[in-house]
């Protein structure tokens, strides 16, 4: 192949394809130049005096490297890996790095194998960071536990780039034997971080152990310290967490190579609008030069993860290319993967086959009774205050507030007038019957309930509601469906979405899934909710490593102290 490529690059052999009259984005110098692009056997042969068996005049169209999402969880899209590829490739995404810790927390090694097997033979480069924290902490019940020895089974696979986000930094800094062993096993590969609000000497220690990136920065100051201490900053723009506007001013000419665009968690509904192309559009509309933005979604990702000959338009690089007309919206006209046109004008041009892989059921919960959701108090108790989770708009971090409870018939109940709603997390993996109970402000439901089996990172069933009866019905809808979402009001299921793949993903098309999600969102809004994508916001309330107050099946968790706390306080 090399000798034939040599002859093609010298112009003595026809290329397979030539894109003519291109405006080419050079991500090495962050400039643009005019030329033709010769492609031979899936590789870029050169720019000068190239001729091809097939020649396409793009008439001055802008050609960029295929877009690359540097950190994403496919499971959060709620569609299968094949359907995910079918959705993002027409938007110009030709590569992703995924961390399958969602499905690993449910199905362990079986879940990892499913993701590795089902991403083969797609017109999308799918690279993996193996999940480091399964479970994320010992303050929740997951469906599986993985240790350093388990991860070593996949260490030599070509598509495995390193160790995924090390989120349990509390235990790592205490010298967790398993986490130290994992870091040691992956010392020759990349190790991603996940350290919201970590600073000072604790951040020094975290970085010293070999962690090299962070995608949890929400403020300029936080990102600046982490940048100064050697971390690559992944600027996140997902469905819930949107940090670009705060972090973009930190990107300077001298440090361009230290930043990467990622989506982290993005729903199918948002994928219908676009993927990395919409992230790039937003960056440009916020004032970033298009060439710099493209570099952060191509070459920077490849250089960080040590992926060779990908992420740039240059001789010898893989011909993963996107042709666009306008850098204000980055709408792809043509998408080329390994020298082959795979999409045009928003349409996929090649078939993608979804592999059928049998997976076991993952909802192991008996029928829910209303009584089990009750929060009873003793007549003699002097209950004056409760700890309450308070949502922050546009962030997955939350606030911890203390409020007086509403008591009815010796039970603490939802208070819709003050927007303090009951929330419960039901253990779904091991049939323990364990239920964590608390209260949350921010959903503004006036009636009804929302339930989901998507609840990061252990994915137990979570339900929030104004009435216990509707909460009970919503939970039972999840149990009977084998996982998914349900919205209930006045005893009736208004809308639902079944997620038969580990209670996390659908086996249907993105069009069908997004129709169901839109119905769910509409019904949630009709109940008084003011949060767009409330179901996604709900799913993050169980993450015991993101500040400040969380709820797991074990109860309320003080994240900073990594310990369980009571619902009631003085």
pLDDT of residue 210: 97
Q: What is the pLDDT of residue 394?
A: 76
**566 dihedral zone (left: phi>0; alpha: psi -120 to 50; beta):** beta
Q: Are 464 and 449 in contact (CB under 8 A)?
A: yes
- Strands of 160-166's sheet, edge to edge? 67-72, 93-98, 125-130, 160-166, 190-193
β-sheet bridge partners, residue 242: 237
Distance from C-alpha of 156 to C-alpha of 162, rounded to nearest angstrom: 10
Q: Tell me which residue of 96, 76, 70 sits closest to 85, measured CA to CA.
A: 96
Distance from C-alpha of 321 to C-alpha of 312, rounded to nearest angstrom: 9
Q: What are the two backbone dihedrals, phi and then psi, of residue 181, each rounded to the nearest 5 degrees? A: -65, -40
pLDDT the model gives residue 379: 66
| pLDDT lower than 50: segments of the chain | none
Global pTM reads 0.95
- Burial of 145-164, coded b for 16+ CB within 10 Å and e otherwise, reads ebebebbeeeeeeeebbbbb
Q: Is the peptide bond before 238 cis (omega within 30 degrees of 0)?
A: no
Residue 393 is given by DSSP the state T
Asked, as a colleague might, if the bond just before 276 is cis with ω within 30 of 0, I would say: no
Query: DSSP letter at 89?
Result: G
- The rounded Cα 254 to chain-centroid distance in angstroms is 29
- For residue 509, what pLDDT is reported? 96
Residue 423 has what pLDDT?
A: 98
Per-residue pLDDT at 393: 80
**Of the candidates 69, 530, 522, 549, the residue with the CA atom closest to the CA atom of residue 275:** 69
Please check whether residue 58 is in contact with residue 21, taking contact to mean a CB–CB distance below 8 angstroms. yes
DSSP three-state, residue 264: strand
Alpha carbons 399 and 550: distance in angstroms, whole number:
10
Task: Enter the tokens of residue 233.
Answer: 């900053």
Q: Would you say 386 and 415 are in contact if contact means Cβ atoms under 8 Å apart?
A: no
Given this model, what pLDDT does residue 380 score?
59
Q: Which residues contact 396 (CB under 8 A, 6 or more apart)?
A: 240, 241, 540, 543, 546
Domains of the chain: 64-317 (3.20.20.140), 371-569 (no CATH)
pLDDT confidence of residue 49? 85
Q: Are 181 and 170 in contact (CB under 8 A)?
A: no
Helix pair angle (101-118, 81-88), 10° resolution: 80
What's the farthest any 2 CA atoms get from each other in the chain?
Answer: 93
Q: What was the pLDDT predicted at 303?
A: 98
């Amino acid at each position: 192949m090399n000798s034939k490529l040599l002859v093609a690059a010298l112009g003595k052999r026809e290329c397979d394809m030539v894109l003519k009259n291109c405006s080419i984005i050079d991500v090495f110098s962050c400039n643009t130049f005019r030329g033709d692009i010769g492609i031979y056997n899936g590789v870029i042969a050169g720019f000068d005096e190239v001729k091809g068996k097939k020649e396409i005049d793009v008439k001055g169209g802008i050609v960029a490297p295929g877009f690359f999402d540097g950190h994403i969880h496919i499971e959060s899209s709620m569609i299968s890996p094949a359907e995910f590829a079918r959705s993002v490739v027409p938007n110009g995404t030709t590569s992703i790095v995924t961390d399958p810790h969602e499905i690993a927390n449910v199905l362990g090694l079986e879940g990892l194998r499913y993701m590795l097997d089902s991403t083969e033979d797609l017109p999308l480069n799918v690279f993996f960071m193996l999940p480091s924290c399964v479970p994320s902490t010992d303050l929740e019940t997951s469906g599986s536990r993985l240790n350093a020895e388990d991860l070593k089974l996949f260490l030599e696979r070509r598509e495995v780039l390193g160790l995924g986000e090390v989120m349990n930094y509390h235990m790592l800094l205490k010298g967790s034997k398993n986490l130290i062993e994992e870091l040691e096993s992956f010392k020759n590969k990349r190790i991603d971080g996940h350290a919201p609000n970590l600073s000072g000497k604790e951040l020094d220690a975290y970085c010293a152990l070999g962690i090299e990136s962070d995608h949890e920065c929400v403020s300029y100051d936080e990102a600046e310290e982490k940048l100064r201490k050697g971390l690559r900053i992944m600027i996140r723009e997902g469905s819930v967490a949107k940090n670009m506007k705060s972090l973009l001013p930190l990107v300077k000419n001298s440090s361009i190579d230290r930043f990467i665009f990622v989506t982290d968690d993005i729903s199918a509904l948002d994928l219908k609008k676009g993927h990395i192309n919409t992230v790039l559009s937003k960056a440009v509309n916020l004032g970033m030069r298009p060439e710099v933005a493209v570099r952060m979604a191509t070459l920077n990702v490849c250089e960080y993860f040590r992926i060779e000959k990908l992420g740039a338009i240059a001789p010898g690089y893989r011909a993963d290319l996107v042709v666009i007309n306008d850098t204000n919206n980055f709408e792809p006209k043509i998408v080329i993967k390994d020298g082959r046109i795979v999409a045009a004008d928003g349409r996929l041009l090649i078939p993608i086959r979804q592999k059928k892989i049998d997976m076991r059921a993952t909802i192991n919960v008996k029928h829910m009774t209303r009584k089990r959701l009750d929060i009873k108090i003793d007549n003699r108790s002097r209950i004056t205050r409760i700890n309450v989770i308070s949502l922050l708009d546009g962030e997955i971090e939350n606030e911890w507030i203390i409020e007086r409870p509403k008591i009815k018939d010796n039970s603490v109940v939802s208070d819709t007038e003050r927007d303090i709603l009951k929330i419960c997390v039901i253990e779904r993996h091991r049939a323990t019957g364990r239920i964590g109970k608390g209260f949350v402000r921010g959903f503004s439901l006036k009636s009804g309930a929302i339930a989901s089996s998507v609840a990061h990172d252990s994915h137990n069933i979570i339900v929030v509601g104004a009435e216990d009866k509707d909460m009970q019905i919503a939970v039972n809808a999840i149990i009977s469906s084998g996982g998914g979402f349900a919205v209930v009001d006045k005893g009736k299921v208004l809308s639902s979405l079944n997620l038969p793949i580990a209670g996390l993903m659908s086996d249907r098309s993105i069009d069908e899934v997004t129709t169901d999600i839109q119905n769910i969102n509409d019904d949630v809004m009709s109940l008084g909710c003011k949060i767009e994508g409330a179901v996604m916001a709900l799913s993050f309330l169980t993450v015991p490593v993101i500040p400040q107050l969380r709820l797991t099946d074990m109860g309320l968790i003080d994240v900073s102290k990594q310990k369980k706390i009571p619902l009631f306080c003085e």
